[in-house]
Amino acid sequence: KQEVTQIPAALSVPEGENLVLNCSFTDSAIYNLQWFRQDPGKGLTSLLLIQSSQREQTSGRLNASLDKSSGRSTLYIAASQPGDSATYLCAVENRDDKIIFGKGTRLHILP
Amino acid sequence: NAGVMQNPRHLVRRRGQEARLRCSPMKGHSHVYWYRQLPEEGLKFMVYLQKENIIDESGMPKERFSAEFPKEGPSILRIQQVVRGDSAAYFCASSPRDNYGYTFGSGTRLTVV
């Protein structure tokens, strides 16, 4: 049974710092891994999608890596801004077409 | 393309009433997924549908919950005889095909009073 774990559960950093969010999963037989952002009381916004054959994806200040064999992904945020404050969710799509979510990392960027 | 549309955004029901949640997938998307998010918990898979077919309903409670995705019209998640424990945010996602990533709607927040 696939399990997705995100560490840390919460993180506060000063504005301008670079930071890394971690995600691990137990079953490496995945189609892809997706990082989402969720603001309080809102829906999910897709940030980056990494296919199982890829090792990383970049979008602006965001970079996500995938090491399928070790069951790990990281989301790197460069030069953090207060607007980056949100909950970041990692999700893997299994071969049975279900996506399994981690519980998220609540990020707070201090102005 | 308007994205995944869910309505209503907020729904209040008394215990014992029925709740109907609607999801219109993105244009061209034939795969629909429903997820539930309880306060302080992660998103839990409920059901996966394609047009006129339930593919996987392993995450959906056996009683009171049902889902459909008809040939025409939105996908419907129906909860009969709601109880307080059904209060949650219900999210719908769609995808054009396997292994293509998901687009989520803004969710329906159900409150049972």
pLDDT band at B8 (very low <50, low <70, confident <90, very high): very high
Give the residue on B whose Cα is nearest the Cα of A99. B45
Residue B93 contacts residue B103 (beta carbons within 8 Å): yes
- Does position A6 have pLDDT exceeding 90, yes or no? yes
Residue B76: pLDDT band (50, 70, 90) is very high
Q: Is A89 on the interface with B (CB under 8 A)?
A: yes
Cα–Cα distance for residue pair A68/A95, rounded to 1 Å: 14
**Tokens encoding A45:** 């916004």
Above pLDDT 70, what percent of chain B? Answer: 99
Q: What is the mean pLDDT of residues B64-82?
A: 96
Q: Is the dihedral of CA A10, A14, A75, B107 positive or negative?
A: positive
The partner residues of B47 in beta bridges, in order of sequence, read B34
Counted across chains A and B, CB pairs separated by less than 8 A come out at 57
Q: Which region, left, alpha or beta, applies to residue B73 given φ > 0 means left and ψ of -120 to 50 means alpha?
A: left
* Residue range B70-79: mean pLDDT, rounded: 95
- Is the model's pLDDT at A1 over the cut of 90? no
Which chain B residues are within 8 Å of A100, Cβ to Cβ?
Answer: 45
Average pLDDT over all residues of chain B: 93
Looking at residue A74, its pLDDT comes to 98
Strand locations in chain A, DSSP E? Answer: 4-7, 10-14, 19-25, 30-38, 44-51, 56-59, 62-67, 72-77, 86-94, 99-101, 105-110
- Give B41's pLDDT tier (boundaries 50, 70, 90): confident
Q: Quick check: A2 pLDDT over 70? A: yes
A31–B103 CB contact, under 8 Å: no
Average pLDDT score over residue span A28-40: 93
Q: For A43-102, how does the pLDDT look when each residue is reduced to its tens digit (9 = 90+)?
A: 899 999 999 999 999 999 999 999 999 999 999 999 999 999 999 999 999 887 788 999
Residue A27 in this model has a pLDDT that exceeds 80? yes
Cβ–Cβ < 8 Å for A90, A6: yes
* pLDDT 10s digits, B45-59: 999 999 889 999 999
